[in-house]
Structure 1
Amino acid sequence: MMPGGVGEIQPATPEIQKIVDKVKPQFEEKSNRKYDCLEAVEYRSQMVAGTVYFVKVHFGCDQYAHLKIFEPLPQTNKPMELLDYQTDKTKDDEVNYF
């Protein structure tokens, strides 16, 4: 993947699930809702001054959301940040740049 370009959709890995778990409290605060479970399904990533992840998450029945998560470079010592999210997604909605 070229720096700045968004990569192909890939199945979620345990590492991606850990990233989702870290930003779950931010998602709950921003969406004003509690989630029993956020299961990462698939993702794309974009290399910038760190990495932006676009992750499709499943959180019950047929409910999905797309999360935009920024992971800063390690040497910055900054935490991961939920930049944006989209709700009312379906299993078939492709996770894209937003």
Structure 2
Amino acid sequence: MSSVGGWSETFSATPEVQGIVDKVKPQLEEKDNKPYPVLVAITYKTQVVAGTNYLIKVSVSNSTDECVHLKVFQSLPHEKKGPSLTSYETGKTKNDPLKPF
């Protein structure tokens, strides 16, 4: 885990992180105005705030190394809210470092 306010190191994606990606997929498709048939979480970082921010590197193709970086906010459990896509960056590859944006 990360210290409060700072970003954690980069971790390999877990089923929990993939679940977050699956939940924000409709938000990404609406904001970017295009479908994403493939969204596979690769790596992620976390930042503890009043909830948790996630930076997630997501593969968007089975045949290329094209990726999208997602910034997702997950509120505290007692708020009973799903994850929210706060921003994203397209045009990334699997080699691009995952860094705050």
Shift of 1:90: 1.0
TM-score between both structures, scaled by the size of structure 2: 0.94
**After the TM superposition, which parts of structure 1 deviate over 2 Å for at least 4 consecutive aligned residues?**
none
Q: Secondary structure at the match of 2:94?
A: coil
Shift of 1:62: 2.2
Q: Secondary structure at the match of 1:27?
A: helix
CA displacement 1:5-37 (0-9 Å, x = unmatched): 100001001110000000000000000110111
Shift of 1:78: 2.0
Please say if 1:73 is aligned against 2:76. yes
Alignment partners' CA distance in 2, 1:12 and 1:84: 19
| Structure 2 stretches lacking a partner, 5+ long | none
Q: Secondary structure at the match of 1:94?
A: coil
Alignment partners' CA distance in 1, 2:87 and 2:67: 14
Aligned identity (percent) is 49
- Tell me what 1:28 maps to: 29
- Amino acid aligned to 2:65: D
Shift of 1:79: 2.2
CA displacement 1:25-76 (0-9 Å, x = unmatched): 0000000110111000000000000000000000112210100000000111
- Tell me what 1:87 maps to: 90
